Amino acid sequence: MFPSHTHDVIPECLCRGSNPIYGFPIKPSEMTDFSGQSQVISYFVMRLPWLSIAEELTATAFSSIVAITIAEVKAFMHKQFIIGLKGPVLTAQERIWLTEQPPLGVILFARNTRSPEQVKALLSDVRICTGQDTWAAIDEEGGRVNRMPWSPFNNRRHAADYGVMYARNAGTAIQAAYQDSFCAATALKTLGFTHNCAPVLDMFHPDGHGIIGKRAFGDNVEQVTALATACMRGLHDAGIAAVGKHFPGHGRANADSHVAVPQVDAPLATILAEAEPFARLIAAGLKHVMTAHVIYNDTVKDVATVSPFWVRHVLRERMSFFGRIWSDDLCMKGVGDDVPAAAEAALKAGCDTLLICQPEGVAEIYGRLI
């Protein structure tokens, strides 16, 4: 029998009749006993309304899914991966992975970028190997977070600079943020990118770790929302998908999740109030949200990336978000030292796009899970 908490996991709006997107009934009264398949069902079906691999299953009812084994579920996992590459050209092993078990996408870093021509060639090579229109992501926030050492990427303002401008003239700041984002996104599109991991929706907090700092647009909801919306629209208008981060907020965190497990001691009500920019950008058209490797001590004792409370209950249900949920990099210390275990935990929590950015982590996860 389906777990008793399944109805709590699936938003109420998806529990009435048939899901118009996937075309099968998910009303709890229509769930039946599938004779010993509960392990698969609890692992797989509870994420079905949002999991992209479900789209590839020609399911018209749950009964057409129950034959799936755990091994078969794992066989789909590479379709959830966005992987980092080792250098400016593909290695022989990367060509094998991309050809035989193509990921959803790749993400480039400074180690992968030498010139515009080289980046174009690399992304073209990736897509020749996969034989499909593979996603290509990058972190081009502006300011200190940039990956390509040429214009327009290496001379952009920090988000905080737009915050200062906003205090003087909000309209001018919003227009400037839009134009900067549109210009960068136009250049990204020309190079072959599809996604930019921006805008940062974290609120600046003076007692928080400096990993966010000037990457934040400000310390209040209205300012962050206005400037981040301008950034998002600039990306979208140039044909690049925006990825808002780091849900539900990294600004108060006491450590850098690249090297430690950060915690936030603020009350839940405060965290939710400061997560309002995510809700507002979702309402304005944000289709991709990245989670934070942060523990919020007033709630569950897991980082948000692997927490059903944050991923399913708050982001999916409370904020009515039905886009893609990206984990932050699963090679970061914020989710431990076991990349495959972190990937399984993030999937189980409800993330459907898994960032594995370091070459060692990519090798480990392909070796153990695929």
Q: Where in the sequence numbering do the catalytic residues fall?
A: 258, 328
Residues listed for the chain: 370
- Are the C-beta atoms of residues 132 and 102 closer than 8 Å to each other? yes
- Are the C-beta atoms of residues 299 and 326 closer than 8 Å to each other? no
Strand partners, 138: 108, 196
Q: How many CB atoms lie within 10 A of CB 1?
A: 10
List phi, psi (to 5°) of 97: -60, -45
Tell me how far apart the alpha carbons of residues 195 and 139 are, in angstroms, rounded to a whole number: 9
- Are the C-beta atoms of residues 68 and 40 closer than 8 Å to each other? yes
- Indicate the angle between helix axes 159-168 and 170-191, nearest 10 degrees: 150
Q: How many CB atoms lie within 10 A of CB 133?
A: 9
List phi, psi (to 5°) of 49: -60, -15
Tell me how far apart the alpha carbons of residues 262 and 356 are, in angstroms, rounded to a whole number: 19
Q: What type of residue is 15?
A: C
